[in-house]
């Protein structure tokens, strides 16, 4: 049989496809947030959806995160399926009481009688030249809280499949996207472009097979890890690159199986070092069966421990670069 058709799709279009398909599939799904309707979305993720589905399904809100997040949580408690967009996750801070105290804890506190099937989504982490108040990564913050599921896509396939899975999930899901990936095209298989394609929450993906070192990342740094792996391959070092996809629940089994094979571990993230995603991965490996397979200490590559500078050269040096990953791998391998 001929190979399945593969086409290039941007992350923006993959997210738009997912929203369109889920709005069509389930009339309980609706989208709300700043600029999502008439303006077609601040980042054009919801392009065309207001025209197609109208005011009741795609709703522009005032600049009042606590207000519209609270409305969305209440709607979810009566079994609608809101998709609540934050224009940047930095401003989900305004609504974190709704996300944690109202959404994440309600199923447990009601002994399972009230579900909150809601998705909070939007750009997370650093963009370009937007300074400290728009550049923080919240993977560790939201990943810390029981009652939430937290996903962090890299490719277009991740973005579409995880958003569809998140909308269908009966738990609150935080979806942390990267603004800098929105216009990046990735190959998407024919299957990934069908209406029933979903990426299961809680399952990592091995993006590149390797034998010498395991590199674990999420979101945009996965791309940097793939570039670093290509550079290192020329020097005879074969990296296994794992795209976490989900922060919570974390697929530590995939990481453990890889570490058992490679005997070395490097974690890469754009967030701050203290109490970060990499810190959690290292602790889990330390406590589990894979620890006995490590031939060297695990190495973390993270953002710098500073509020994000505005100047481009400082911003570049505050985020993990390909050279930092190459250096960390060589340190782990003692070469």
**Residues labelled as active-site residues:** 65, 134
CA distances from 296 to 231, 255, 257, 286 (A): 22, 16, 16, 12
In the 3-class helix/strand/coil scheme, how is 116-174 assigned residue by residue? CCCEEEEECCCCCCCCHHHCCCCHHHHHCCCCCEEECCCCHHHHHHHHHHHHHCCCCEE
Give the pairing of strands 239-243 and 205-208. Answer: antiparallel
What gap in Å lies between CA 56 and CA 109, rounded to an integer? 30
Give the pairing of strands 299-301 and 265-268. Answer: parallel
What gap in Å lies between CA 223 and CA 287, rounded to an integer? 29
Q: Is residue 67 exposed (0-12), middle (13-18) or buried (19+ Cβ within 10 Å)? A: middle
Q: DSSP assignment of 35-87, as one string? A: TSSTT--TTSTTTTHHHHH-TTTEEE--S-HHHHHHHHHHHHHTT-EEEEE-S
Reference 199, options 175, 235, 231; nearest CA is 175
Reference 90, options 144, 141, 150; nearest CA is 141
Q: Cα angle at 49 between 44 and 52, to 5 degrees?
A: 150
What gap in Å lies between CA 45 and CA 41, rounded to an integer? 6
Reference 181, options 227, 122, 249, 241; nearest CA is 122
């Amino acid at each position: 049989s001929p190979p399945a058709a593969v086409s290039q799709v941007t992350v923006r279009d993959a997210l738009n496809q997912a929203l369109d398909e889920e709005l069509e599939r389930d009339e309980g799904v609706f989208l709300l947030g700043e600029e999502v309707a008439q303006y077609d979305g601040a980042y054009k993720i919801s392009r065309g959806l207001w025209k197609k589905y109208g005011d009741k399904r795609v709703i522009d809100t005032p600049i009042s995160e606590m207000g519209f997040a609270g409305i969305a949580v209440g709607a979810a408690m009566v079994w609608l399926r809101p998709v609540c967009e934050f224009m940047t996750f930095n401003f989900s801070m305004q609504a974190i009481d709704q996300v944690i105290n109202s959404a994440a804890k309600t199923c447990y506190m009601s002994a399972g009688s009230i579900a909150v099937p809601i998705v909070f989504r939007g750009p997370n982490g650093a963009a370009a030249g937007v300074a400290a108040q728009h550049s923080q990564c919240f993977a560790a913050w939201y990943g810390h809280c029981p009652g939430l599921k937290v996903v962090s896509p890299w490719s277009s396939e991740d973005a579409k499949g995880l958003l569809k899975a998140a909308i269908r999930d009966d738990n609150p899901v935080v979806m942390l996207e990267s603004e800098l990936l929105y216009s990046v095209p990735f190959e998407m298989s024919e299957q990934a472009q069908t209406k029933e394609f979903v990426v299961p929450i809680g399952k990592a993906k091995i993006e590149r097979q390797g034998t010498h070192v395991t590199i674990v990342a999420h979101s945009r740094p996965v791309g940097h890890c793939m570039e670093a792996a290509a550079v290192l391959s020329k020097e005879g070092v074969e990296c296994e690159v794992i795209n976490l996809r989900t922060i919570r629940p974390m697929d530590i089994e995939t990481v453990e199986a890889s570490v058992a094979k490679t005997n070395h571990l490097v974690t890469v993230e754009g967030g701050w070092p203290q109490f970060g995603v990499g810190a959690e991965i290292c602790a889990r490996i330390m406590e589990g069966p894979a620890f006995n397979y490590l031939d060297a200490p695990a190495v973390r590559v993270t953002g710098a421990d500073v509020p994000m500078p505005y100047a481009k050269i400082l911003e570049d040096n505050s985020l993990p670069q390909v050279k930092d990953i190459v250096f960390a791998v060589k340190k782990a391998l003692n070469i």
